[in-house]
């Protein structure tokens, strides 16, 4: 499961360092910025699940940042929490009525804010797991219709859409307006690197939401140029990739390493602490994906990296991401500790106080704000390959014959 990402936009970053440490320990990814302008930019690049911002934030204050985030299709689903020194009930009610997910007073209680974040992020998981109700879109497997074919289809049909791709644990998004690619997003990558990497995805799923898109255009290339570049890139990628096992294969370094390694080979080998998947070596390298793939292939051919036997993975390989040990989840431990009776009167009063606070929080969130988003979502229709081809023909119906011929060149 993808790790949840949290972005802090605060005037005094050191004030949230202890909170950041606790969140990192709990498995979240966390970034901190000190002004609203940078936060807005990072919302698109880092794609946080939750944004926690100061009310009196520099450059763009908290309320204006909230409006900007919610006005853009790429970021409108980001949970937004406002922090402020204002303590009046009216202030809190006003902020919540604006559509904020929560309001936190400064100074805050560390344990309480951890609990609130967990509630919000769990709500997001629940929302994402609920099937959406829409008729203005379609979804399917990338093995049936890959990204290049999707872009060709939407370009010829001059459709505005948001394409969401998922492959293994990675999720990417592409925005189009009237068939032209505006922007692409994939964790930590530039728009160009993001779409290039997604061109190589053939395992996974896609979802196409046909809707108006107001995303800023970051690509200079036309969709046709990107498609042509994608063709060439994927062909080169596949030629190299066929000499190694699946990129999901787990490998380790060979027992003995003979010969001199180039600086690039050393940089790849340095990523292997114990065992690692081939895809991780490529994506976590500082090299571009194609160069990293070439280096990984050479290392494999020279037997400097070897596959981990499947039997060994079954007996010893227990991915940390699926561990259910309660002790590994500090936030769950905190909640459990709250409910554990003790003999200390002061501590017991503290427990009761926190129980009341949690009840208030639960009452305030009887109907999550993402419920409104769910109501607004429209049914997604999952299609098999033959149905996808019919959709493609429908979208391109009425266009010039030469465009229709072009769309069929990559079947």
pLDDT digits (tens, 9 = 90+) for 225-266: 999 999 999 999 999 999 999 999 999 998 877 668 899 999
Whether 86 maps to a domain, the answer reads yes
pLDDT at position 99 is 77
Q: How large is the average pLDDT for residues 42-51? A: 91
Rounded to two decimals, the pTM is 0.53
pLDDT digits (tens, 9 = 90+) for 83-116: 887 656 666 666 666 778 888 888 888 888 888 8
Whether 196 maps to a domain, the answer reads yes
Q: What percent of the chain has pLDDT over 70?
A: 70
User: Which residues constitute the domain of residue 265?
Assistant: 250-316
pLDDT digits (tens, 9 = 90+) for 262-288: 999 999 999 998 888 999 999 999 999
Nearest Cα to Cα of residue 248 among 149, 317, 199: 317
Out of 8-12, 141-145, 253-257, which region has the weakest mean confidence (pLDDT)?
A: 253-257
Q: Is the pLDDT of residue 365 over 70?
A: no
Same domain for 125 and 145, yes or no, is no
pLDDT at position 26 is 86
Same domain for 17 and 121, yes or no, is yes
Same domain for 70 and 24, yes or no, is yes
Confidence band of 130 (pLDDT split at 50, 70, 90): low
182, 216, 241 - which closes a domain: 241
pLDDT at position 122 is 85
Radius of gyration of the chain (CA): 24
Same domain for 257 and 210, yes or no, is no
- Identify the top-confidence range among 19-28, 105-114, 130-139, 334-343: 19-28
Query: Taking the C-alpha atoms of 229, 230, 231 and 232 in order, what is their torsion angle to the nearest 10 degrees?
Result: 50
Same domain for 152 and 218, yes or no, is yes
**Overall domain count for the chain:** 3
How is residue 380 written in tokens? 């997604």
Out of 6-10, 122-126, 195-199, 324-328, which region has the weakest mean confidence (pLDDT)?
A: 324-328
Q: Is the pLDDT of residue 223 over 70?
A: yes
pLDDT at position 321 is 37
* Adjacent-strand bridge partners of 166: 171, 205
DSSP 239: H
Whether 366 maps to a domain, the answer reads no
Query: Taking the C-alpha atoms of 316, 321, 322 and 323 in order, what is their torsion angle to the nearest 10 degrees?
Result: 70
pLDDT digits (tens, 9 = 90+) for 177-214: 999 999 999 988 999 999 999 999 998 999 999 989 98
For residue 309, count CB atoms less than 10 angstroms from its CB and return exposed for 0-12, middle for 13-18, buried for 19 or more: exposed
């Amino acid at each position: 499961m993808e790790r949840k990402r949290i972005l802090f936009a605060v005037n005094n970053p050191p004030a949230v360092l202890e909170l950041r440490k606790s969140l990192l320990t709990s498995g979240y990814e966390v970034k901190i910025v000190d002004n609203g302008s940078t936060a807005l930019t990072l919302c698109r690049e880092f794609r946080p699940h939750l944004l926690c911002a100061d009310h009196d934030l520099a450059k763009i204050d908290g309320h204006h940042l909230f409006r900007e985030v919610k006005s853009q299709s790429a970021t409108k689903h980001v949970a937004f929490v406002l922090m402020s020194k204002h303590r009046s009930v009216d202030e809190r009610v006003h902020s919540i009525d604006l559509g904020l997910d929560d309001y936190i007073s400064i100074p805050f209680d560390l344990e309480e804010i951890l609990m609130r974040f967990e509630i919000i992020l769990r709500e997001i998981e629940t929302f994402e797991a609920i099937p959406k109700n829409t008729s203005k879109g379609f979804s399917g497997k990338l093995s049936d219709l890959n990204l290049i074919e999707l872009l060709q289809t939407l370009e010829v049909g001059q459709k505005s859409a948001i394409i969401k791709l998922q492959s293994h644990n990675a999720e990417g998004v592409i925005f189009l307006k009237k068939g032209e690619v505006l922007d692409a997003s994939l964790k930590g990558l530039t728009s160009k690197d993001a779409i290039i990497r997604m061109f190589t995805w053939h395992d996974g799923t896609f979802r196409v939401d046909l809707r108006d898109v107001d995303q800023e255009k970051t690509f200079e290339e036309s969709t046709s140029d990107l498609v042509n570049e994608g063709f060439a890139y994927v062909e080169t990628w596949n030629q190299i990739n066929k000499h190694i096992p699946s990129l999901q294969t787990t490998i380790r370094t060979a027992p003995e390493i003979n010969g001199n390694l180039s600086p690039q080979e050393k940089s790849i080998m340095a990523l292997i602490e114990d065992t690692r998947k081939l895809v991780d070596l490529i994506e976590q390298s500082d090299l571009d994906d194609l160069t990293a793939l070439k280096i990984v292939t050479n290392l494999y051919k020279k037997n400097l990296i070897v596959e981990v036997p499947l039997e060994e993975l079954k007996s010893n390989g227990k991915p940390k991401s699926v561990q259910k040990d309660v002790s590994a989840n500090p936030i769950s431990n905190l909640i459990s500790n709250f409910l554990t009776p003790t003999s200390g009167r002061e501590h017991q009063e503290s427990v009761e106080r926190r129980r009341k606070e949690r009840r208030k929080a639960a009452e305030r969130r009887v109907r999550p704000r993402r419920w409104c988003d769910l109501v607004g979502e429209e049914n997604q229709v999952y299609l098999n390959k033959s149905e996808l081809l019919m959709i493609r023909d429908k979208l391109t119906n009425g266009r010039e014959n030469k465009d229709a011929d072009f769309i069929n060149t990559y079947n």
